[in-house]
Amino acid sequence: MDTQREPLIEFKGVSKTFGTRNILNRIDFSIYEGEVTTLIGLSGTGKSVTLKHIIGMLKPDEGQILYRGKAIDQMSKAEWNEYIGQISYMFQNNALFDSMTVFENVAMPLKYTTKLKKQEIKEKAMARIEQTELTEVFDKYPSEISGGMQKRTALARALVTDPNIVLFDEPTTGQDPIRKNAILSMVAEYQKRFGFTALMISHEIPDVYFISNRILALYDRKIVFQGDPEAFEALDHPFRDELITSLESLGEELTGLYSRRHFKVRYQSDLSKRQPDASYAVAVFVLEGMDGISDALGHDVAQQIIRSLGSYINKHFGAVGGFSSRQTINEYATVLPYSDLEEAKRIMEDFTKDFQEHGMPDLGSLITGEKPSEGCIEVNISAGLAQGKPQIEIESVMEFARFNQKPIARFECKTGG
């Protein structure tokens, strides 16, 4: 499919050496328009160097970087200005101007590169500040705010000019787990809303899978993989052992939930030992209304709610021998390996009752405990069950479970306003 599409940005045999240290060795990869591409790799392997080549801060020693088929080092001044004018870059260490307030930092690209009036600049910058939940600190200096807020200030500054291409250099570094997911959600939401092309460096595996259309893996000075996240999960390469496995294990340890890959591995290892006619059940949970929560209460609250739901599911179904995984940004799947459909229904009823009595009030307090919102917030949690046999692919059983989904809990219009 990729061969039929014209890449937006393409690296062709790009090499870069600093002194005697070779960082990139004839790397080739493509970035397609309107997609989120994530570049992953071990620390110090040249990910930031790769990004800096795109924006012209570094020049390749060998090879070419093409933008819509045109080599960027052969562009005329007008072409270069047009190209570079479409790109925003979010630095790994934020690169905020420490003698300027949050507002001045965000407004700066508009002030110096556009002909907008002062009032328009103010409105646009404040809108971004609000979207990134920085309203309370807009007049503070970077040294007066937390690392997470600094990161969001850098994000707001990168997005304030409505760029067509955004390069994110580890946007989630230094953030707590809630904020990490909040930032990734924000990137995904803005990407959908504004349609920009994103190239992101991230270590947040598997979270980046949910928002990425393509994954690029940089290992030993070369791109060893480029393709969709599903294919990447099945990658058989030393890179996986060094990076992915350690990160996924850590993720499990911290959240109790399996990564999608480990979920599949556990499924295969558990069910391969069973008789072919043995039954098991799969439950799929979906939290609907995430966009509304994000818009009204911010990405942090949305992430807290989804994590809280995950924690409830894992706790409840884990107690009866089940194992769970987050499948997409708002979907969880649980396998009950030793339960048939009837038993699973009873477990689900218990879960529903318990969740409505204890879980929903907790989620409600997360919502009502936040700032008042003018709109009506509606959150629906649906669950579906399906029965499977060991020889059936887990994806097919999950699809049945999605088909059988019905609401199990609902929260509506109880914001502080």
Partner 1 sequence: MASDSSAQDTAEISATEPSVGKITSFFNLFGSRTLRLNNNLGAMAIFFFRSFFMIFRIKAIPEIIQQLYFIGAKSAQIVMLVGFFTGMVLGLQLYFVLVKFGSVGVLGTAIALTLIRELGPVLTAIMITARAGSAMTAEIGIQRISEQVDALSTMRIDPLGYLISPRIAAAIISFPILTTFFNLIGILGAWVSGCLLLGVNSGTYFFRVVSSTQMDDIMGGYYKSIVFGLLVVTICCFQGFFTHMRTDSYGAKSVSLSTTSAVVFSCVMILVSDYIVTSFII
Contact set with partner 1 (CB under 8 A): 55, 57, 81, 84-85, 87-89, 91, 93, 95-98, 108-109, 112-113, 161
**Residue 355 class from Cβ within 10 Å (0-12 exposed, 13-18 middle, 19+ buried)?**
buried
CB nearer partner 1, residue 93 or residue 328: 93
Can you tell me the distance from the alpha carbon of 37 to that of 227, in angstroms, rounded to the nearest whole number?
9
Can you tell me the distance from the alpha carbon of 160 to that of 7, in angstroms, rounded to the nearest whole number?
25
CB nearer partner 1, residue 91 or residue 355: 91
> How far apart are CB 93 and partner 1 at their closest, in Å?
6
> How far apart are CB 128 and partner 1 at their closest, in Å?
14
> How far apart are CB 163 and partner 1 at their closest, in Å?
10
CB nearer partner 1, residue 55 or residue 247: 55
CB nearer partner 1, residue 72 or residue 96: 96
Can you tell me the distance from the alpha carbon of 403 to that of 337, in angstroms, rounded to the nearest whole number?
20
Residues 6+ apart with CB under 8 A from 352: 383, 408, 409
Can you tell me the distance from the alpha carbon of 272 to that of 280, in angstroms, rounded to the nearest whole number?
12
> How far apart are CB 47 and partner 1 at their closest, in Å?
15
**Residue 81 class from Cβ within 10 Å (0-12 exposed, 13-18 middle, 19+ buried)?**
exposed
> How far apart are CB 113 and partner 1 at their closest, in Å?
5
> How far apart are CB 173 and partner 1 at their closest, in Å?
14
- Cα angle: 357, vertex 361, 367; to 5 degrees: 155
CB nearer partner 1, residue 113 or residue 146: 113
Question: Dihedral, CA atoms, 154, 222, 164, 136, nearest 10 degrees?
Answer: -10
CB nearer partner 1, residue 106 or residue 313: 106
Residues 6+ apart with CB under 8 A from 273: none
